[in-house]
Structure 1
Amino acid sequence: MKTHASIFAVIALLFSLSAFSGHAFAEQPQQAVESAATININTASANELAQLDGIGETKALAIVADRQANGPFESTADLARVRGIGEATVAKNSERITTN
């Protein structure tokens, strides 16, 4: 009788683990989609800009301030005109940013 109880416990454990692992895999594609969204650097809010690689809250606010002071960016490369953002950061985000 103990053997049947042990087998039942193991089966119940396996089913419960498979339910949790399936849930984790179901959320991963959604997260990938959200992180890969294209961001228009001329219209994005500071919160949206902060999602870019190497751009935190401070740099995002600097992008918005530069945009307000100097007008829209004509190209994504112009993002490097913002203090603290270099060509490497622009290149790292080249697939995720746009100006139109």
Structure 2
Amino acid sequence: MDSTDTVRYDPESETYTARHAQGGGRTAVHSVVEAVAAATDSEPTAMEPLYETLDPHALDWLCGRGGERGRTSPGTVVSFRFEGCAVSVHADGRAVVSKRGDRP
């Protein structure tokens, strides 16, 4: 699946948003990688591994896999920088990426 099929760009906020599917196999990590790849116009395989920035298992545990919510508060947000972008992963299933460098 091409990331352009799963990532939406909002020109007003200048952010890229990807969602992990409710109850599907897509994780928060998938959403982050696809949204950052779209924001930086890069192939996911050309980016540094996400595990060099943070623990991907912890990210998936905190933000769930869509249907596995309930581990954390619905308002939980994990924010970090990756590939020169500001990334915020929300427990409601959104990964929001901004190239501007501020928090999306």
Q: Establish whether TM, by shorter chain, passes 0.5.
A: no
TM-score, normalised relative to structure 2: 0.27
Structure whose alpha-carbon radius of gyration is higher: 1
Greater fraction of residues in strand: 2
TM-score, normalised relative to structure 1: 0.27
